[in-house]
Amino acid sequence: MSLPISFEEFKKNPIAAVAFCMLLIVGYLYYESENTKKAIISKCESENVKMGDRLHKMERQQKQSDSLLAVYSYEIKFYLNAIEGYSQTIQK
């Protein structure tokens, strides 16, 4: 593998050679950060889909438990009224 600049060129103009090397490094780091960003975004999107599915499942479970709570609450009131009514007729 040969370097993009030779040592002779570096000796002639070291500032330009260092600037060229820095440009290559910055370009590589930018490329790497873009790839990392894309990977993070795709991972977050897949997790977002999973969380959305989980949220819908939990909403369904909440509606079901609210419905059951309403039914059981009604039944408890009904039976308590029945018991109180029965005990009142016994006392009379």
Summarize pLDDT for 1-38 with one digit per residue, the tens. 566 667 777 788 888 878 888 999 999 999 999 999 99
* pTM for this prediction: 0.51
Amino acid identity, residue 17? A
Extents of the domains making up the chain:
7-91
DSSP, collapsed to helix, strand or coil, labels residue 6 as coil
Short-list 6, 29, 2, CA closest to 17: 6
pLDDT digits (tens, 9 = 90+) for 38-84: 999 999 999 999 999 999 999 999 988 888 888 888 888 888 888 87
Sign of CA dihedral 29, 31, 35, 40: positive
